[in-house]
Structure 1
Amino acid sequence: MGRERQDTQGPDRIVEDVLGRVLYASAPDAGDAVEAGASLLAADAGQWPAVGRLLLRRAEQLVRQAWERGWQPADLVRMARRTAPDDARPTRLAVDLIAAEARRYGTGALDPRWAAQLRELGAEAWWTADDRFLPELGGREAMDRFPLAEALLDVMRLVFGLPAIEPVGPVPGTSGRRTAPPAAPAGTSGEPKMLGRIRALLAKAEATDYPEEAEALTGKAQQLMARHSIDEALLAAGAGAGPEGAPEAVRIGVDRPYESTGAMLLDAVAEANRCRAVWNEDLGFSTVVGFATDLESVELLYTSLLVQATTAMTRAEAGQRTAGRKRTKTFRQSFLLGYANRIHQRLSAATERTVTESATELGERLLPVLAARDVAVAGAAEQMFPVTTRHSVRGARDAEGWHEGTAAADRASLGGR
């Protein structure tokens, strides 16, 4: 009788048994568990639509649990990409599972940063019905039932195994939704317009082939960022302390290879914009703590400087090859380390100069406001990360790479008018 019941069990029982074995399998046994589970899920073509609906329901629960452990959509997708850098399918499946879970929220119930991440990922339920999810997914991916079940189980196991991390925003559907910043006074530039100008300047700096032009464009963008930050600080102080006046946090991916030098560059940009960055090497991101306006500046400038550094490094390597010198990973690491070190020096000097000029213009009220924000950011960062360690970058032994990287950072100068 026991064997007869086992053979006739329905799709709901099959799905629960498979997930119980797959999700809780130890790392050495995970491959065998996924393969055996995929065989069971794909065995009956007639049950395939129902299996898809049940898997989707369980996947929504797993994704929700990941949100409650501190993860956000961009983080989850980054982990899928990080675990399979040469295969885009896990990333697409992760986006699908996020889209399925996001259906439960109305557009007005999401934190603005969360909603922006969903838009950027394109996380929308594209399948016609949950019973059609697996058949239509198989058509999109050009996969038969067994390999498709394997791929989906792998992603569900990834989501299930994500550790708890420091939250950087409210979980969807909770009452912790951020409020909008204070409105700009009449006749002044609003934040969207200012950020649009900054993005345009940085895009031109990334596109130009002339170092002097890139220097001027990036320097102008940094001036706008610094002055915009000061204006927002004074505006918030005048409006009185409130939810909009509290530091926030964002996570920024630091991708392989050379993630240690990337983390150094991000730290330099964060510090210059009155933020704190804490790098999680194992999970491939840095958490940046600061006020909303400054966080926007950090994200924009860091992304632009990465593009400029990569372009400059490619040109430097080409010059080295032309001169008959073969360059290796050590050259690239040294280049990026010299670049990050020099950028840090120049950003720090530019920030100090901008504050000095603004204090002369605005008077004594500026410095106490900035000092109060620095204290607030430091306190928020220490509350999120009470224990941190300093990380030393080793292995940069190529003097020519360091020299080329420093020169490239000088060309990307951010200082002064």
Structure 2
Amino acid sequence: MNPHATVTRAFEAALGNDSEDALDTGASLLAADPAADAELDRRGREFLTRSWRGGWQPADLARLVRRDLDGVHLVLLDRLAREETSGYEGLPHRWPEQLAELRAEAASAGSSPGPDRFSAATAALELYRFLGTLPRVEPVGPAPGEKLPPPVAGEPKMLARIRALLAKAEATPYPEEAEALSAKAQELMARQGVDEAVLAARRPAKDVPSACRIGVDAPYETAKAVLLDAVARANRCRAVWNSGYGFSTVVGFESDLEAVELLHTSLLVQATTAMTRAEAAQRKGGRKRTKSFRQSFLASYAHRIGDRLTAVSEQVASESGEFLPVLAAREVAVQGRTDELFPQTVSTRVRGVNDLAGWEEGAEAADRAALGPGRERIERGRPGR
């Protein structure tokens, strides 16, 4: 048989029709022709190349495959991604780390593409069918093979200090200590942002805003997106949530983006830990409504954390005096880039915030002060353009 013809016939049968019978037909054709394996892999790498050029990155695809498919597809995605990216001289910023995380996740999945040729072919066609349905999304950086910006310098000492503070905040069993450490981390982030802005203003080549994507996973994804939005705004960035594909795009200057990624991850860990403890105490008191408690807890936590982080950032900015115009100019640039990437956004609200105990516990976890209930508004991007 002709390998090219075999794969073409299999694709015509399986990828143009979403029925199980069509999938079985395509897998049977591939299973009967071992000579077609190399061509099948080559076509898979083409699917990935189109995905990269359509704005998707390895972490995006890994998150969606994990959510909508299975471990065998994650293993296959990892192998194809490593093969497809191996031919480039250099990869965009964040890509090596994303590929390494995909490699580790695929290894922990412990699933081969299938115990027999038919199962392996079925998994490949399922993955390719899935990749073929993805729309273009807003690009947050160059794709492999495109011109790369100057390399990003190694982690600044300030970020290393911030990382250490947040690690301590995550580890301590004392809420007051965790809050103090998080507040100190935010202060350092705010001061670093001011320093970076001043240095950038003095350089001949001006920095421009860039963007990154951060996963926002279920459950309670709306409240988690609010938390990310609060962290982003406190650090002179903007976050736009894509609920359909489970991520937020954060726009800002590079040093601020790294701070947002770091702080958001830490606060989410701290929020989850505090929520679990509070929920356990509520259960001891005879409560059984956990979903509304958790949703209200996380919404309140995000709301109050936003207030606290913004207050710290505003205090640092007010001390900057003569550099306020520089900071203001960067904020305008960030908003302009956000509007360019997302000319159309809609607002959404956190629904189900109706548990007073959850709201009060979330506010206390944020900064030990009671706060009346409310609803947070965030921007949400449409699933593709």
Structure 2 CA distance, aligned partners of 1:20 and 1:194? Answer: 55
Aligned CA distance change for structure 1 residues 230 and 180 (closer, same or farther; 3 Å)? farther
Does residue 404 of the first structure (1) align with residue 361 of the second (2)?
Answer: yes
- Aligned 8 A contact 2:279 2:290 in 1: no
How far did 1:141 drift?
Answer: 5.3
| CA deviations over 1:335-370 (Å, ceiling 9, x no partner) | 11111111111111111111123x2xxx41x10100
Matched letter for residue 140 of structure 2: V
CA distance in 2, matches of 1:223, 1:321: 36
Match of 2:189 among 214, 221, 225: 225
User: How far, CA to CA, are the matches of 1:140 and 1:389 in structure 2?
Assistant: 42
Residue 35 of structure 1 is matched in structure 2 by 24
For 1:119, the equivalent position in structure 2 comes to 100
Give the equivalent residue in structure 2 for 1:367: 324
Unaligned runs of 5+ in 2: 370-385
1:323 to 281, 285, 296: 285
Please tell me whether the aligned partners of residues 64 and 245 of structure 2 are also in contact (alpha carbons under 8 angstroms): yes
Residue 179, structure 1, aligned to residue 150, structure 2: yes
String of CA shifts for 1:147-181, please: whole Å, max 9, x gaps.
Answer: 22211211111111111111110111112x12146
Task: Give 3-state SS (helix, strand or coil) of 1:389's partner.
Answer: strand
Give CA-to-partner distance per residue, 1:303-329, whole Å, 9 cap, x none. 111101111111011001111121321
1:187 is matched with: none
TM-score, structure 1 as length reference: 0.83
> Match for 1:205: what amino acid?
A
Please tell me the residue identity of whatever aligns with 1:393. Answer: V
Q: CA deviation at 1:54?
A: 1.1
Task: Identify which of 135, 139, 142 aligns with 1:170.
Answer: 142
The answer (yes or no) to whether the contact 2:75–2:111 under 8 Å persists in 1 is no
Q: Deviations over 1:24-71 (max 9, x none)?
A: 22x4x2x3222221122223xxx42x2221111000111001111111
**Equivalent residue in structure 1 for 2:75, among 92, 109, 113:** 92
Would the aligned equivalents of 1:317 and 1:327 in 2 still touch at CA under 8 Å?
no
**Residue pair 1:320, 1:327 contacting (<8 A) in 2 also:** no
- Spell out structure 1 runs of 4+ moving beyond 4 A: 138-142
Counterpart secondary structure, 1:390: strand
Matching residue's letter, 2:71: A
Q: Which residue of 2 aligns with 1:103?
A: 86
How far is 1:122 from its partner? 2.8
Is the 8 Å Cα contact of residues 113 and 123 (structure 2) preserved in structure 1? Answer: no
Among 278, 298, 303, the residue aligned to 2:240: 278
Q: Which runs of 5+ in 1 are unaligned?
A: 1-8, 127-137, 184-189, 413-417
Secondary structure of 1:391's partner? strand
CA contact (8 A) 2:72 2:114 kept: no
1:158 corresponds to 2:130: yes
For residues 254 and 10 of structure 2, what CA distance do their matches in structure 1 show?
Answer: 44
Q: Establish whether residue 253 from structure 1 lines up as the match of residue 220 from structure 2.
A: no
Counterpart of 2:274 in structure 1: which amino acid?
A
2:317 and 2:328 mapped to 1: Cα distance? Answer: 11
Note the C-alpha offset of 1:241.
3.8
Matched, 1:240 2:204: yes
Give the secondary structure class of the aligned counterpart of 2:260.
Answer: helix
1:67 aligns with 2:24: no
Letter of the 2:187 counterpart = Q
Shift of 1:140: 4.3
State the identity %.
57
Higher alpha-carbon deviation: 111-120 or 339-348: 111-120
Match of 1:133 in 2: none
Aligned length: 367
Residue 382 (structure 2) aligns with:
none
TM-score (norm 2): 0.90
Of 232-241 and 139-148, deviating more is 139-148
Q: Which has the larger radius of gyration?
A: 1
Q: Is the 8 Å Cα contact of residues 240 and 249 (structure 2) preserved in structure 1?
A: yes
CA distance, structure 2, for counterparts of residue 191 and residue 368 of structure 1: 27
